[in-house]
């Protein structure tokens, strides 16, 4: 020690990647992202959690973790596009470079989606392209599927129709109910979403002209999760 103060130089190492999460309800996928972030397993900064319902548990949880939370009321806007533009303007102002739809229950206007092409992902509880839309577990059971799963995809103007990044699969049991199947799948949703956000944050996965690239090469089938929670080619 010579008494001279050390200059404050930013340390080396990756900067956290800023993301925003849109959520309308329970927020267990958001909680998985927060947990992974807090455990040092996800190099992101969740700069905003936003949605359409001020009473959503997801927004309350964000606030409890010191994450800025914002709800806009769709009824205060003349139409869907103006609501979506206002909400996504706040997201842009937050500095987020990726928007994660995690149980966000509104369809986003196509023009607004286009502004975020390649920078907006969604988690959906089915093996897309099967069962776009609602009640996916019920539909998988009604069809007698032996396998069910979840997909993370880049968002396009088509509902649940954008390029799929990765999927996780589970077996359907003979005695499964809709609730039991949903609960078992939810655990895989959490792992899959964390892995996809991690891969995007680290620049390993990106979208280009409607294709998903892994390490700069287009994938020909959705990636899958290996047992350690990393994405690998199918």
Q: Which residues are catalytic?
A: 124
Report the distance separating Cα 154 and Cα 84, nearest Å. 18
User: Which of the stretches 72-80, 111-119, 122-130, 162-170 binds ligand GRF when contact is defined by CB under 6 A?
Assistant: 122-130
Residues 85-104 touching ligand GRF, rule: CB under 6 A, are 102-103
Over its C-alpha atoms, the chain yields an Rg (Å, rounded) of 19
- We find the least distance from the C-beta atom of residue 183 to ligand GRF, in angstroms, to be 10
Q: C-alpha distances in angstroms, 150 versus 85, 166, 186?
A: 28, 8, 8
**With respect to ligand GRF, which residue has the nearer C-beta, 106 or 213?**
106
Give, in order, the Cα–Cα distances in Å from 33 to each of 44, 190, 223. 9, 8, 19
Q: Residue 26 interacts with ligand GRF (CB under 6 A)? A: yes
Rule CB under 6 A: is residue 165 a binding residue for ligand GRF?
A: no
Cα dihedral 88/79/132/44 (nearest 10) = 10
Q: By CB under 6 A, name the one of 48, 112, 124, 195 that touches ligand GRF.
A: 124
Ranked by CB distance to ligand GRF, the top (closest) residue is: 103
Stretch that binds ligand GRF, among 2-10, 19-27, 47-55, 87-95 (CB under 6 A): 19-27
152 three-state secondary structure: strand
């Amino acid at each position: 020690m010579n008494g001279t103060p050390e200059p404050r130089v930013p340390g080396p190492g990756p900067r956290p990647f800023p993301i925003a999460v849109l959520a309308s309800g329970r927020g267990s996928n958001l909680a998985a992202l927060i947990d992974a972030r807090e455990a040092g397993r996800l190099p992101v900064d969740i700069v905003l959690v936003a949605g359409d319902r001020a009473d959503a548990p997801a927004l309350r949880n964000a606030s409890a973790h010191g994450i800025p939370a914002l709800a806009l009321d769709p009824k205060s806007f003349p139409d869907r596009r103006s609501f979506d533009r206002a909400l996504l303007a706040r997201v842009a102002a937050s500095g987020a470079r990726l928007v994660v739809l995690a149980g966000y229950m509104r369809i986003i206007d196509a023009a607004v989606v286009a502004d975020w092409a390649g920078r907006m992902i969604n988690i959906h509880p089915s093996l897309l392209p099967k069962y776009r839309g609602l009640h996916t577990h019920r539909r998988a059971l009604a069809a007698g599927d032996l396998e069910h799963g979840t997909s993370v995809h880049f968002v396009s103007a088509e509902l649940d129709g954008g390029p799929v990044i990765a999927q996780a699969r589970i077996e359907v049991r003979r005695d499964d109910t809709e609730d039991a199947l949903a609960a078992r799948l939810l655990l895989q949703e959490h792992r899959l979403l964390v892995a996809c956000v991690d891969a995007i944050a680290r620049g390993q996965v990106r979208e280009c002209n409607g294709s998903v690239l892994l390490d700069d090469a287009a994938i020909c089938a959705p990636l899958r999760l290996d047992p350690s929670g990393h994405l690998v080619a199918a």
